[in-house]
Structure 1
Amino acid sequence: MIRKFITLFTDVTKTGTKIPKEEYLTTGKNIIIDQGKDSIAGYTDRQKGIFKEVPVIVFGDHTRIVKYVDKPFFLGADGVKVLKSKEKESNYKYLYYALKAAHIPNTGYNRHFKWLKQININYPGFNEQKNIVDILDSLTRIIKVRQKELALFDKLIKARFVEMFGDPANPINIWAPEKLEKICILNPKKEKKLENDDLDVSFVPMSAVSEHGAIDTTKVKKYSEVKKGFTYFLENDVLFAKITPCMENGKGAVATGLKNKKGFGSTEFHVLRPIKGKSNPYWLYTLTSFQSFRKLAELNMTGSAGQKRVPIKFLQNYKVVVPPIELQNEFANFVRQVDKSKVAVQKSLDETQKLYDSLMQEYFG
């Protein structure tokens, strides 16, 4: 059975109480749900006005993010829609997945609820809804476990980095600091005499680089297709996402496994090419992946909201304590060992995500 959104949902946002962002606490008695990507935006000790009629679906009017909420909560600031079902008995988890699968056009920082109200939803019997939810919940749990495992690997690598070199924000002072531009080549120019137009090269869009250092280099294009209008890099160059929100989210990687050891990709990458004898790519990448580095880069961003970028000058002038290349290489060997485990987990995550996406399309497409 196909049901229209307006026959299934009612907007009850006005019955909730909104908390201004400046009043969010890091801990508190009650949770605050807003339209951001985090499941919980903050906390409050307030009691009066808490929304108790859960479960509900929360929709981010600007962000298009959908959340299932089953605990009493307060609303975040502007842009939150709280949705209740009109049915006497409803499987809210099913409705959550249905809305997550809905195609809502991205019109920037505008309101999108008008598009949501136009969708139709596949609405089978209650038992079938439960079976679908059980399957999707199981896959979601596996995905979260794999993501946590990857995050733990990242913590392990960073812990080893700090042990050997100190935190970038508080480095070991036995080595001299240098500007980043002195120890690597930033945004290197393409060689004038690159091979012929029929040469196969890896093509790496922003979506092919993860927040955990993984990179997908399997997409191949002819040099003639990418020689203009894309960022050029070589095997073992470091990619650093310069645009918001990719930069803040941690996107970046060491470019390995490139077809013919050459790659082209998004213009929203800065490229850091190690200098032999001065810098190791795994040491460089880990340096740029630290939260302290990314926060400083964020403070130096230029441009308008939604289109902010890290200028090359930030990387050029960033001062870092440079350990001997032998120690950098020792650290890189440790990273490569950890990466072997990461590859297996990433493969499992990718396969589970692919199955989840396929089933979402089958159930709700």
Structure 2
Amino acid sequence: NTLRYQLFEQITTEITEFIEIRDILNYEQPNKYLVTDTDYSSDDSLIPVLTANKAFILGYTKENFGIYDKGECIIFDDFTMDIKFVDFRFKVKSSAIKILTDKTDVNLKFMFEYLSFLGLSSNDHKRHYISEIERMKIPLPDFNKQSQIVNTLSGIDKKIKNEFEIYKLLLEQKQYLLANLFI
């Protein structure tokens, strides 16, 4: 978060031209991707059912129709303003989600990181995307700079994930050693 903040603060001071989010992102209503059967499975070989809040994957469904499979997107919860970057096929539970995709000359992962940097949140139970978010003006560097920022942040994400996996393995090793200490 600190590095993201520093990178985007630097962009904000360097870029003098601002562009509205609606000029760089398309949005789609999720109605045709809504799950009909809410009896979810835990079988992760099935299609995940998503929400943009902290739960993210609610479960999995056997439904093989109305699946979003157009590639990368950002799912945006219109009420809570939570966002998630998605690069796999899915269905959604709520029609309050907006599916955001990129227009030309914008890196979608960059936009996800920038929206994360903004720290969007709300206590009001209303729809925010069309009335507020898509009208926001943001600094947009050229595509190469966007890609550099994404590569930097993705590298850090991978490092954090690897370190977390090592941490989990060390915890397992600790448990094993403790269990066998007094045998």
CA distance in 2, matches of 1:152, 1:141: 17
Structure number with greater CO (CA < 8 Å, separation at least 6) is 2
> How many Å apart are 1:26 and its aligned residue?
1.0
> How many Å apart are 1:22 and its aligned residue?
3.0
Q: How big is each residue's C-alpha offset from its partner over 1:290-312, in whole Å with a ceiling of 9 and x where there is no partner?
A: xxxxxxxxxxxxxxxxxxxxxxx
Task: State the TM-score, normalized to the length of structure 2.
Answer: 0.72
> How many Å apart are 1:120 and its aligned residue?
2.4
Contact 2:110 2:146 in 1 (8 A): yes
Larger Rg: 1
CA distance in 2, matches of 1:108, 1:157: 46
Residues 96 and 105 from structure 1, CA distance in 2 versus in 1: closer, same or farther, beyond 3 angstroms?
closer
Contact 1:17 1:74 in 2 (8 A): yes
| 3-state SS of 2:75 partner | strand
> How many Å apart are 1:158 and its aligned residue?
5.0
User: How do residues 92-241 of structure 1 correspond to structure 2 at under 5 angstroms?
Assistant: 92-107=108-123, 111-113=127-129, 114-157=131-174, 163=179
CA distance in 1, matches of 2:69, 2:30: 13
CA distance in 1, matches of 2:171, 2:38: 31
Matched residue count: 164
CA distance in 2, matches of 1:18, 1:160: 47
Q: 1:2 aligns with which of 18, 21, 26?
A: 18
- Residue type at the aligned position of 2:68: F
> How many Å apart are 1:7 and its aligned residue?
1.9
Task: State the TM-score, normalized to the length of structure 1.
Answer: 0.39
Q: 1:61 aligns with which of 78, 93, 99?
A: 78
- Residue type at the aligned position of 1:67: K
Residues 89 and 31 from structure 1, CA distance in 2 versus in 1: closer, same or farther, beyond 3 angstroms?
farther
Q: 1:13 aligns with which of 29, 33, 45?
A: 29
Contact 1:57 1:66 in 2 (8 A): yes
- Whether 2:108 is the aligned partner of 1:81: answer no
Alignment RMSD, CA only? 2.9
Residues 107 and 157 from structure 1, CA distance in 2 versus in 1: closer, same or farther, beyond 3 angstroms?
farther
Contact 1:59 1:66 in 2 (8 A): yes
> How many Å apart are 1:50 and its aligned residue?
0.8
Q: How big is each residue's C-alpha offset from its partner over 1:106-146, in whole Å with a ceiling of 9 and x where there is no partner?
A: 31666543443343222111111111111111011111222
Contact 1:18 1:74 in 2 (8 A): yes
Contact 1:35 1:61 in 2 (8 A): no
- Residue type at the aligned position of 2:156: L
Runs of 5+ consecutive residues of structure 1 not aligned to the other structure: 165-329, 332-365
> How many Å apart are 1:157 and its aligned residue?
4.7
Contact 1:2 1:120 in 2 (8 A): yes
Contact 2:24 2:106 in 1 (8 A): no
Runs of 5+ consecutive residues of structure 2 not aligned to the other structure: 1-16
CA distance in 2, matches of 1:67, 1:23: 23
Contact 1:102 1:119 in 2 (8 A): no
Residues 156 and 24 from structure 1, CA distance in 2 versus in 1: closer, same or farther, beyond 3 angstroms?
same
CA distance in 1, matches of 2:19, 2:127: 23
Q: 1:30 aligns with which of 32, 42, 47?
A: 47
- Residue type at the aligned position of 2:142: G
Contact 1:13 1:82 in 2 (8 A): yes
Contact 1:20 1:77 in 2 (8 A): no
CA distance in 1, matches of 2:40, 2:21: 32
CA distance in 1, matches of 2:167, 2:81: 26
User: How do residues 289-328 of structure 1 correspond to structure 2 at under 5 angstroms?
Assistant: none
